A and B are shown apart, each in its own frame.
Chain A
Amino acid sequence: VEVIDPRTVAPLDVTTIAQSVAKTGRLLIVEEAFGPFGLGAEVAAQLIDQGFDDLDAPIRRLTGAHTPTPYSPPLEAAVVPSVEMITQAIRDLVAE
């Protein structure tokens, strides 16, 4: 498993992501914001463009729930992806 934390979203360092996908054949995009039409969708679209042949499994996204983020810290934690959710998503993707 490789973790890539892009410094910027524009310009987005797709090359680094594509190199990683070339190694692993998989891409899991994790973001706290909600999924639809978000940054994760853009990353997925660009990666498909550059590294389609490297993919061995569908690109997966793990995003925050599609709801306004609550102010209360416990509620916020329930809405954004947790460490457990991320590890589970990785395991799922590897088995995909």
Chain B
Amino acid sequence: MAIPITIPRLGWNMEEGIFVGWLRRDGDPIQAGEALFTLESEKATEDVECLDSGILRIPVGSPKPGDPVKVGDLIGYLLGPGEKEVPANASQESFLKPKAVKGPVPVSTSKKIELTKIAISPRARRAAEELGVDWKKLKGTGRTGRIREQDVSNALQAAEVRDESEVGDSRITPTRRIIAERMRHSLSTTAPVTLTTTADATNLMNFRKEMNSRQGEKMPGFTDFFVKLAAIALASHPRLNSRWENDRIIQLREIHIGIAVDTEAGLRAPVIRDVPRLTLDEVADRSRALIDRARKGTLKIKEMEGGTFTITNLGAFGIDAFTPIIHWPECAILGIGRIRRQPVVINDQVVPREQVTLSLTFDHRIADGADAARFLQTLVALIEEPAAALARVENAQPPGI
């Protein structure tokens, strides 16, 4: 019996992806556990391993590299010993309509059926193609719900109102779509409030400079400091390290901190796990590796899931304060601004100090303003005395190596 090969769900909310290419050729003998093809999903590109053994059969009509595919799409077969051809029912048709294949794929199956239901007039289809409008997303106003030319042009006009300077292809990548969905979902389910405060980072800068002279290139970046210090502050303010799940607030013991990384493909938020158990240098090593992989687009899904708090640093772009959007389902996200030299009054003297603005967005359903303010207070105190804070923690928990 030939075993169908279908597009797997790489992340919990993956619906579609881009087929990057086969790693094996038609006719190759495959052992279970061997990488079979590469699939790009919402946030990561992964090699998909084969669950069974057999001879790989890639039929005509299976996706080409770069084709968009839906979870559950049938892309090929594994033939058992002695089997020469794919089953008779595996005609071209089965590539359009996935048959009952292993794994629960009801979502994509129902979507397929919906797709065939969308009616569009030939003229509207042509117009949509010329204007680059994705008509599958439109709602037709024809008598039978058919999409008419005017629906297409209206959709285009609506899009133009949103962005009059729109140029080029408006095709949305899976990454972009998932970012959009996450952001919208976060804003529509949480009650975000942003608090901003300014911390004196002079000591932090000096501390880092000292490390610099000791460690040279491998010294931790500012974000690494903030990750570590935020973890310390979170430990004493567990409210901000919770999530709202099924009408319950779950306080999490572990502190996994995500870092927002700007990549060519869009925003990624790899997660540094168990920050309290790591030394500052370990945090720096992990974040360096994760950011590097994020830029290369080789992050694994599981490296981006499970965060309990997120830090986003726009300081490098000269931003002071902003209102970050909570990385749902976390409770809070900390925005770091640029560190700038400013006149500050200390003991009636105006002195130049390094100032950094912190923007904390938290979910008011989970925490109150005072909770968040207290967390920020703690964090500011830690930032202002980083050496003491880090020494205290690293002495309490001896660093690994």
Q: Do A and B come from one complex?
A: yes
Q: Which residues of A contact B (CB under 8 A)?
A: 25, 52-57, 95-96
Whether A56 pairs with B148 at a CB distance below 8 angstroms is: yes
Whether B122 pairs with A52 at a CB distance below 8 angstroms is: yes
A95 to B143, CA, bound (A): 7
Whether B124 pairs with A56 at a CB distance below 8 angstroms is: yes
Candidates A53, A57, A95; contact of B126 at CB < 8 Å: A53
In the complex, 15 of the A-B residue pairs with CB atoms within 8 angstroms, ordered by the A residue number, are A25-B121, A25-B123, A25-B149, A52-B122, A53-B122, A53-B123, A53-B125, A54-B122, A54-B123, A55-B122, A55-B123, A56-B122, A56-B124, A56-B149, A57-B142
B141 nearest CB neighbor, chain A only: A95
A55 to B142, CA, bound (A): 13
Q: How far is the CB of A43 from chain B (nearest CB, A)?
A: 18
Q: Which residues of B contact A (CB under 8 A)?
A: 121-126, 142-143, 146, 148-149
A52 to B121, CA, bound (A): 9
A21 nearest CB neighbor, chain B only: B123
B121 nearest CB neighbor, chain A only: A56
A53 to B126, CA, bound (A): 7
Q: Which residues in A have their C-beta under 8 angstroms from that of B121?
A: 25, 55-57
A57 to B122, CA, bound (A): 8
Q: Which residues in B have their C-beta under 8 angstroms from that of A96?
A: 142-143
A56 to B105, CA, bound (A): 35
A32 to B290, CA, bound (A): 76
Q: Which residues in A have their C-beta under 8 angstroms from that of B146?
A: 57
Q: How far is the CB of A47 from chain B (nearest CB, A)?
A: 12
Q: How far is the CB of A86 from chain B (nearest CB, A)?
A: 19
Q: Which residues in A have their C-beta under 8 angstroms from that of B149?
A: 25, 56
Q: How far is the CB of B152 from chain A (nearest CB, A)?
A: 10
A96 to B124, CA, bound (A): 13
Other than A25-B123, A54-B122, A55-B123, give 12 A-B pairs with Cβ distance below 8 A.
Answer: A52-B122, A53-B122, A53-B123, A53-B125, A56-B121, A56-B148, A57-B121, A57-B142, A57-B146, A95-B143, A96-B142, A96-B143
A22 nearest CB neighbor, chain B only: B123
Q: How far is the CB of B72 from chain A (nearest CB, A)?
A: 32
A96 to B126, CA, bound (A): 18
Name the 9 nearest CB pairs between A and B, nearest first: A56-B123, A56-B121, A56-B149, A53-B122, A25-B123, A53-B126, A55-B122, A96-B143, A52-B122
Q: Which residues in B have their C-beta under 8 angstroms from that of A52?
A: 122
Q: How far is the CB of A92 from chain B (nearest CB, A)?
A: 9
A55 to B123, CA, bound (A): 5
Q: How far is the CB of B7 from chain A (nearest CB, A)?
A: 33
A54 to B148, CA, bound (A): 11
Q: How far is the CB of A10 from chain B (nearest CB, A)?
A: 27
A96 nearest CB neighbor, chain B only: B143
Q: Which residues in A have their C-beta under 8 angstroms from that of B123?
A: 25, 53-56
A52 nearest CB neighbor, chain B only: B122
A56 to B126, CA, bound (A): 10
A83 to B121, CA, bound (A): 28
Q: Which residues in B have their C-beta under 8 angstroms from that of A54?
A: 122-123
A76 to B333, CA, bound (A): 80
A25 to B14, CA, bound (A): 39
A96 to B142, CA, bound (A): 5
A25 to B142, CA, bound (A): 13
Q: Which residues in B have their C-beta under 8 angstroms from that of A57?
A: 121, 142, 146, 148
Q: Which residues in A have their C-beta under 8 angstroms from that of B148?
A: 56-57
B152 nearest CB neighbor, chain A only: A56
A95 nearest CB neighbor, chain B only: B143
Q: Which residues in B have their C-beta under 8 angstroms from that of A95?
A: 143
A56 to B168, CA, bound (A): 26
A28 to B149, CA, bound (A): 18
A96 to B125, CA, bound (A): 16
A25 to B126, CA, bound (A): 12
Q: How far is the CB of B347 from chain A (nearest CB, A)?
A: 78
Q: How far is the CB of A22 from chain B (nearest CB, A)?
A: 9
A52 to B122, CA, bound (A): 7
Q: How far is the CB of A29 from chain B (nearest CB, A)?
A: 18
A52 to B126, CA, bound (A): 10
Q: How far is the CB of B131 from chain A (nearest CB, A)?
A: 14
A60 to B230, CA, bound (A): 70
A30 to B122, CA, bound (A): 23
Q: How far is the CB of B77 from chain A (nearest CB, A)?
A: 37
A53 to B143, CA, bound (A): 19
